[in-house]
Chain A
Amino acid sequence: MLNPTEIKALLSKIQAAKPGVECDISGSSIADQTVKVKESGALDQSASQRTGVTLRVWNSQGRIGVVQLTSLDLGEILLAVDVALDAAPLGPSEDIPELPKLTGGVGFISAESPEVDAKSVSVSIETLGAALEKGVSKLRAFHSDIQGVPYNALSQRRVERFYANTSGLCRTQVSSSVSTYLYGRGQAEGHNPRAAGHWGEEYSLENLNISEVAQVAGSTLVAHLRPGKIHSGQYPIVFSGRAFLDLLNAFGNLFSAQNILDKQSLHSKESLGQEVASELLSVSDDPLHEFNIAPALFDGEGTSVRKTTLIEKGVLKGLWHHSVSAKAFATDNNGHARVGAKMTVGPWFYNVAPGAGLGDFDKDCIWIDELQALHAGVNSLQGSFSLPFQGFRIQNGQKLSLESVTVAGDILTLLKSISALDVKQERASGGLCPAVAVSSLSITCES
């Protein structure tokens, strides 16, 4: 168990052994247990306990060396300090972050450790196994055409995060979560096999409704068991909230200040204040939203996270920042740093504002439930995507599942052609988002 006292003591020992060295140390210690139910019915069980540490050391010229390791052992940390000091003169000479200080002003960081109770009480692995077996059984029994649940898991995890530095800043945080996914496989007579699933995440097993996850997974799978074909062409499209968030996240460089500085973004500095999307679209990053299970309270530089407006009524209002990018943009650091050899930024929890409803779109559209293979089908620097998906053709009150279909388009064009947003938000693993309707995109269907 890490605590501020131990972390501070470690830093004191580093300072004693390496007088005058300025450094910070951040990372996490994670303990988790996972169960899976194999097709044979046997339980697959695993557990791990691991620590990941990033050590940053500033040399006397203000250059920085960064080392990653898997131990908080003093001997190994001291060795890593030496490696970092060796690496510092060879690393970047510009845009070097400063050691976060305990001073006031913009981006002030509290020295107090935020106390977050781990909201869950951990349970035995037998309890996890029994809960998952019930869920798997329920999904198997949901329909006679469901043949198995090849992908399933139930995990509980406890994460202890920390950030501390030689200027006296020290923050620690404990969180816990329980998550599950159930992905079933089924086949109707005369059709190809299909697969579909659902997931859930909560603070504790007590709060996690695995039965509901199985119910949603079952109904989704059954809805896809008798697919049909459509002609390739242009169709009105509705992305489910989850699918839209996946797409938005795949083009994360749109909101990354660091990517803009590196000229690896579809946006530029000048895009701020410009209309980059339909006026119907408003997106924020809301790390402390109540639906964000186990939120981080501080980023990799120890900066408190906070809500950031990204797009407001179609206008680009903000970006994810760390200390260096905030300085370059002459704006406030909003606590999105991911610390490594090179600092990057990333999202915490998207919140796409709901709209006035889908109107006629839910009567005539291609409904995209889930986008697949985003790692392969997105060219984030080109702005294009061509992605397989799971979804339906909805027309005249009929809902036809589709198989072997892809959707293709350009993200900048898509954002500007958003025509409607649903009134309800869907809760997904990375945020909240309503269904989003787009006037037209290319659909290819295997003939």
Chain B
Amino acid sequence: MRPLLERDFNTCFSSAEAPLEGPFGESWRPLLSLILGHARRSGADFAEIFLERRNSLRVSSENGKISSVAPSFSLGAGVRCFKGTQDVFVSTNDLSRVGLRWAVDQALSMLGCSSRMTTSLGRDVQLEPLRDFAAIKKKERWLGDAAGVSDISDRLLELSSDLKKQVGHLQSDQAAAFRDWQEVLVAASDGVFARDIRLHQLARAGVNCADGTHRTSLHEQRASTGQPRFLNEVDLSPLVAEIAASAGVMLRADYVSAGQYPLVMANRFGGVIFHEACGHLLETTQIERKTTPFAESLGKPIAHESLTAWDEGITEGAFGSTDMDDEGMPAQSTLLIENGILRNFIADRAGSMRFGHPRTGSGRRQNFSFAAASRMRNTFIAPGAHTPEELIASCDSGLYCKKMGGGSVGATGEFNFSVGEAYLIEKGKITKPVKGATLIGTAVDIMKKISACANDIELAPGFCGSVSGTIYTTVGQPHLKVDNITVGGRA
């Protein structure tokens, strides 16, 4: 075994130079076929190469001035090899033939396979005809069509100006926008050969307000996938209005009293509760770690009968949508829970191989330096029959969570969420604003306490950090009622 990252500059790939120039595609077929064949002949049961090129731009403004313009470029490859159910992963941002040779040999070495390629090139893996989602969906011009620095800067300065006009007690304002263009190529020893281009864009504004000892900070964002003109055309005036309204209310809000509350959670980002409390526990990665209580629950009730939930990658423009996952599988829609019954897990290749759950096009990763894992895309609770007003009216004394912050779930299914904007419900009516609330509980319990869903589903963009890095996702739900939950606050 060679020591840590000692490079072997063996040149046996000299017949297949890495075509670094130009887009990913057919020009890579000879080299990738050769590398994958090398991996198979050396003893790997399966091998996969993920190539990624990224071109990103982030522009920020603070208090009405452009504070940074940040272009960035990256290029890299991730190589994954399986032997039985054992797998290894190696990443590099050297896409030369030498760099890729090092990566695959390192992977083979870690897998206990001997590298067999020094004298004979042998047979290559026969890759399928390239499935090129970038070409099929005409994405080649996306990068050129997206907003440039000047356009983005103008929008941010306009946003900042609007915040100044509309937000009271403004201490500072921040606005930022990014576009993240990504080209990927996946080749695998089972013949998969697929290419895609993705374009994620986001605009965000935040404020800090202060009045004496009263302080509050808020932010809002809008985002899209695959809509090149998004940053030119998105209407940001509702975002400013929402921030202004919330800041006005929350600046002088009292801290919430700790205790048990029935709760009505608003739509859009309220969906983070399902994402954290249940969605993660339906990823096959969690089965492998034995950290989900639902591993043996397929076909069994795990939630209140009023609850149906989906995870999908196909909603046009949604932040978690993708035409193919990072293992080259086309996106699909996956029914997770139907009227409380667990119907499917979220499975990537490794999860499918190890646990027999069908792949769901959910193999996702932040970038080439992570192995793909089963991850959520657009995850939401389906709408029900009630109106939001009916849910609120059904609470004599409770809490209305209008805006959720982030959250997390631990190895035992315990979850927590922060609440950004909340109001007391008194005698069926929303009354005074409260701040500082944290919702805590366990997934198994909370899923059975979501007792009613309204008819007003909306989605909201977000980011999810987990085993394969931080990825773009969407959460969503209609207004829903939780019969009882522990709220951390001031005692």
CB distance from B388 to the nearest CB of A (A): 25
Do A69 and B74 touch across chains, with their CB atoms under 8 A apart?
A: yes
Query: Is A60 part of the contact surface with B, judged by Cβ < 8 Å?
Result: no
Do B150 and A50 touch across chains, with their CB atoms under 8 A apart?
A: no
Do A446 and B70 touch across chains, with their CB atoms under 8 A apart?
A: no
From A31-39, A163-171, A292-300, the one touching the partner chain is: A31-39
Which B residues are in CB contact (< 8 Å) with A183?
411
Given A39-B289, A382-B216, residue A406 in contact with residue B438 (CB < 8 A)? yes
CB distance from A75 to the nearest CB of B (A): 10
Do A342 and B60 touch across chains, with their CB atoms under 8 A apart?
A: yes
CB nearest neighbor in A for B287: A39
CB nearest neighbor in B for A382: B215
Instruction: Tell me the bound Cα distance from A46 to B69 in angstroms.
Output: 34
CB distance from A209 to the nearest CB of B (A): 21
CB distance from A203 to the nearest CB of B (A): 14
Do B408 and A376 touch across chains, with their CB atoms under 8 A apart?
A: yes
CB distance from B171 to the nearest CB of A (A): 6
Which A residues are in CB contact (< 8 Å) with B437?
386
Do A264 and B4 touch across chains, with their CB atoms under 8 A apart?
A: no
Given A408-B255, A444-B488, residue A49 in contact with residue B290 (CB < 8 A)? no
Q: Which of A67, A121, A376, A447 contacts B260 (CB 8 A)?
A: A447
Query: Is B451 part of the contact surface with A, judged by Cβ < 8 Å?
Result: no
Do B416 and A124 touch across chains, with their CB atoms under 8 A apart?
A: no
Query: Is A185 part of the contact surface with B, judged by Cβ < 8 Å?
Result: yes
Which A residues are in CB contact (< 8 Å) with B74?
69-70
Query: Is A126 part of the contact surface with B, judged by Cβ < 8 Å?
Result: yes
Query: Is A379 part of the contact surface with B, judged by Cβ < 8 Å?
Result: yes
Query: Is B310 part of the contact surface with A, judged by Cβ < 8 Å?
Result: no
Query: Is A263 part of the contact surface with B, judged by Cβ < 8 Å?
Result: yes
Do B149 and A90 touch across chains, with their CB atoms under 8 A apart?
A: yes
Instruction: Tell me the bound Cα distance from A442 to B488 in angstroms.
Output: 9
Instruction: Tell me the bound Cα distance from A444 to B437 in angstroms.
Output: 11
Query: Is A91 part of the contact surface with B, judged by Cβ < 8 Å?
Result: yes
Which A residues are in CB contact (< 8 Å) with B255?
384, 408
Given A147-B290, A386-B489, A444-B486, residue A232 in contact with residue B68 (CB < 8 A)? no
Query: Is A140 part of the contact surface with B, judged by Cβ < 8 Å?
Result: no
Do A406 and B3 touch across chains, with their CB atoms under 8 A apart?
A: no
Query: Is B258 part of the contact surface with A, judged by Cβ < 8 Å?
Result: yes
Which B residues are in CB contact (< 8 Å) with A373?
406-408, 416, 418, 438
Do A381 and B289 touch across chains, with their CB atoms under 8 A apart?
A: no
CB distance from A274 to the nearest CB of B (A): 16
Which A residues are in CB contact (< 8 Å) with B290?
39, 147-148, 150, 185
Query: Is B405 part of the contact surface with A, judged by Cβ < 8 Å?
Result: yes
**Which residues of B, 51-105, contact A by the 8 Å Cβ criterion?**
58, 60, 62-63, 65-76, 85-94, 102
Given A39-B289, A90-B66, A341-B70, residue A48 in contact with residue B91 (CB < 8 A)? yes
Do A341 and B491 touch across chains, with their CB atoms under 8 A apart?
A: no
Do B66 and A92 touch across chains, with their CB atoms under 8 A apart?
A: yes
Which B residues are in CB contact (< 8 Å) with A232?
258-259, 491
CB distance from A15 to the nearest CB of B (A): 22
CB nearest neighbor in B for A379: B217
Query: Is A4 part of the contact surface with B, judged by Cβ < 8 Å?
Result: no
Instruction: Tell me the bound Cα distance from A31 to B74 in angstroms.
Output: 17
Which B residues are in CB contact (< 8 Å) with A195?
410-412
Do B1 and A126 touch across chains, with their CB atoms under 8 A apart?
A: yes
Which A residues are in CB contact (< 8 Å) with B315?
none
CB distance from B91 to the nearest CB of A (A): 4
Instruction: Tell me the bound Cα distance from A142 to B491 in angstroms.
Output: 38
Instruction: Tell me the bound Cα distance from A121 to B414 in angstroms.
Output: 40
**Which residues of A, 229-277, contact B by the 8 Å Cβ criterion?**
232-234, 262-264
**Which residues of A, 54-95, contact B by the 8 Å Cβ criterion?**
65-71, 76, 80, 83-84, 87, 90-94
Do A262 and B172 touch across chains, with their CB atoms under 8 A apart?
A: yes
Given A39-B288, A376-B405, A384-B435, residue A90 in contact with residue B69 (CB < 8 A)? yes
Instruction: Tell me the bound Cα distance from A234 to B65 in angstroms.
Output: 44
Do B371 and A46 touch across chains, with their CB atoms under 8 A apart?
A: yes
Query: Is B469 part of the contact surface with A, judged by Cβ < 8 Å?
Result: no
Instruction: Tell me the bound Cα distance from A48 to B110 in angstroms.
Output: 12
Given A150-B411, A262-B62, residue A444 in contact with residue B487 (CB < 8 A)? yes
Do B5 and A47 touch across chains, with their CB atoms under 8 A apart?
A: yes
Query: Is B106 part of the contact surface with A, judged by Cβ < 8 Å?
Result: yes
Q: Which of B215, B406, B435 contacts A381 (CB 8 A)?
A: B215
Query: Is A151 part of the contact surface with B, judged by Cβ < 8 Å?
Result: yes
Do B172 and A68 touch across chains, with their CB atoms under 8 A apart?
A: no
Query: Is B345 part of the contact surface with A, judged by Cβ < 8 Å?
Result: no
Query: Is B208 part of the contact surface with A, judged by Cβ < 8 Å?
Result: yes
Q: From B63, B94, B491, name the one whose CB has the most chain A CB atoms within 10 angstroms.
A: B491
Which B residues are in CB contact (< 8 Å) with A382?
215-217, 435
Which A residues are in CB contact (< 8 Å) with B369?
48, 50
Instruction: Tell me the bound Cα distance from A91 to B217 in angstroms.
Output: 26
Do A192 and B412 touch across chains, with their CB atoms under 8 A apart?
A: yes
Q: Which of B58, B102, B371, B491 contacts A442 (CB 8 A)?
A: B491
**Which residues of A, 295-346, contact B by the 8 Å Cβ criterion?**
340-342
Which B residues are in CB contact (< 8 Å) with A393?
none
Which A residues are in CB contact (< 8 Å) with B4?
31, 33, 122-123, 156, 158
CB nearest neighbor in A for B207: A381
Which A residues are in CB contact (< 8 Å) with B65?
92-94
CB nearest neighbor in A for B75: A70
CB nearest neighbor in B for A266: B215
Instruction: Tell me the bound Cα distance from A127 to B263 in angstroms.
Output: 52
CB distance from B34 to the nearest CB of A (A): 21
Do A43 and B69 touch across chains, with their CB atoms under 8 A apart?
A: no
Which A residues are in CB contact (< 8 Å) with B491?
232-234, 408, 442-444
Do B440 and A442 touch across chains, with their CB atoms under 8 A apart?
A: no
Instruction: Tell me the bound Cα distance from A125 to B89 in angstroms.
Output: 13
Query: Is A12 part of the contact surface with B, judged by Cβ < 8 Å?
Result: no
Instruction: Tell me the bound Cα distance from A122 to B491 in angstroms.
Output: 52
Query: Is B126 part of the contact surface with A, judged by Cβ < 8 Å?
Result: no
Instruction: Tell me the bound Cα distance from A204 to B404 in angstroms.
Output: 43
Query: Is B153 part of the contact surface with A, judged by Cβ < 8 Å?
Result: yes
CB distance from A4 to the nearest CB of B (A): 20
Do A70 and B73 touch across chains, with their CB atoms under 8 A apart?
A: yes
Query: Is B25 part of the contact surface with A, judged by Cβ < 8 Å?
Result: no
**Which residues of B, 415-429, contact A by the 8 Å Cβ criterion?**
416-418
Query: Is B490 part of the contact surface with A, judged by Cβ < 8 Å?
Result: yes
CB distance from A375 to the nearest CB of B (A): 6
Which B residues are in CB contact (< 8 Å) with A67?
71-73
Query: Is B291 part of the contact surface with A, judged by Cβ < 8 Å?
Result: yes
Q: Which of A70, A150, A386, A447 contacts B289 (CB 8 A)?
A: A150
Which B residues are in CB contact (< 8 Å) with A383?
215
**Which residues of B, 425-466, contact A by the 8 Å Cβ criterion?**
435-438, 440-442
Which A residues are in CB contact (< 8 Å) with B2?
124
Could you list 24 A-B pairs, sorted by A, with CB under 8 Å? A40-B288, A44-B87, A47-B90, A50-B92, A50-B93, A50-B369, A67-B72, A69-B73, A91-B69, A147-B290, A150-B289, A185-B411, A195-B412, A264-B174, A372-B410, A373-B418, A373-B438, A375-B408, A376-B418, A377-B418, A379-B436, A382-B435, A384-B435, A388-B440
Told that A125-B1, A444-B489 touch, could you supply 15 new A-B pairs with CB distance under 8 A? A33-B4, A47-B91, A69-B73, A91-B66, A91-B69, A123-B4, A125-B109, A150-B290, A192-B412, A192-B442, A263-B171, A383-B215, A388-B440, A442-B489, A445-B486
| 6 closest residue pairs by CB, A with B | A406-B488, A341-B70, A122-B4, A444-B258, A341-B68, A376-B406
